[in-house]
Amino acid sequence: MSEPEVIVRKEGRAGRLTLNRPQALNALTHGICLQTTQALRDWADDPEVSVILLDGAGERAFCSGGDIAQVTAAGKRGDYAAGRDFWRDEYRMNCLMAAYAKPVVSFMHGFVMGGGVGYGCHTRNRIVGESTQMAMPECGIGMIPDVGGTWLLGQAPGELGVYLALTAARMGPGDAIHAGFADRFVPEAAWDSAKAALIETGDVGTLPRHADPASPMAVEQSRINRLFAPSTVTEIIDNLRSDPSAIAQAALKAIGRNSPLSMASTLALLRPSPRSLEEALKQEYRWTWRAMEKSDFIEGVRAQIIDKDRTPHWKHAAPADVTIAEVAALLATLGRDELSFG
């Protein structure tokens, strides 16, 4: 009998969801999203459940993102429904987690990227530890920061959200707290006892308090604000080229690997920033609904994940080649296909 992709159970006062694909770095599948949604609905009115615990099996990752191999394989055949269905149900799950009446506590170790951010960072009790490495790397695979990522990025201080979106820079625990993607640091050696207290009492007040680790990004905040203030990717690149600092040169190299269309679309989603998580998810869904047909997504996944040749052939040679009209078309209303929450 195969292992479940997500372990769903009740323990004491807690409803527990443990992502259970450690060999795949706990990448999210459509099935995981549906099972998570069903469990949350079941527990909403269950008097035995006072708190929800989210965590991931294995040592390497809470969740490395969405498992998009099947989605892209279907898209290459001209079948876009699989991806659209997956993203629709994933985004609805993200919204449900954020609005959930009972406290949800996410313990996020190791890699927390893309869909993993959506799974663990829309709750109000987000725990990080020494091993946490968090990022939104979507522009590197011809995608946009989705799963409500544009909402989180838009709430980050100054221009930090734009920096994180365009460079896929990894946040350690201190950076994640500074950026607003996490709430508190707890040493990972104390996680078992913290979970045990939650299971016994159902009370998030039992979560321990520790000093936040240093945030290198907070130290660089003023430089990030200046470098990433321009309204176009081309102008940001000009700023980076004129700044010899290590952070600017690393950012320049990262941006040079990304899809120009994805970066232009991401800036459009962040300026102005979404006014709510629901607005962010609706806008992101317009883009992802069209992603396999109109964007660099399939090519980016091929180059970075499937063939791993790291040489994607983007639709545009440079950010300056992307037009406002192209971005607007990707973000236009979907009419009857608009994302709804219910």
Q: For residue 223, give both structure tokens.
A: 């430089």
d(CA 104, CA 123): 6
C-alpha 71, offset from chain centre:
17
Known catalytic residue at 138: yes
3-state class (DSSP) for residue 128: strand
Known catalytic residue at 48: no
**H or E, element range at 234:** helix 233-241
Known catalytic residue at 338: no
Q: At CA 136, angle to CA 132 and CA 137, rounded to 5?
A: 110
Task: Burial-class residue 241 by CB neighbours within 10 Å (0-12, 13-18, 19+).
Answer: exposed
Q: Which of 90, 138, 159, 175 is catalytic?
A: 138
Q: Which of 65, 66, 75, 149 is catalytic?
A: 66
Report whether 42 contacts 95 (CB < 8 A).
no
Known catalytic residue at 158: no
Q: Give the number of residues written for the chain.
A: 342
Q: Which of 55, 146, 175, 183 is catalytic?
A: 146
Dihedral of alpha carbons 56, 61, 64, 69, sign: negative
Q: Which residues are catalytic?
A: 66, 115, 138, 146
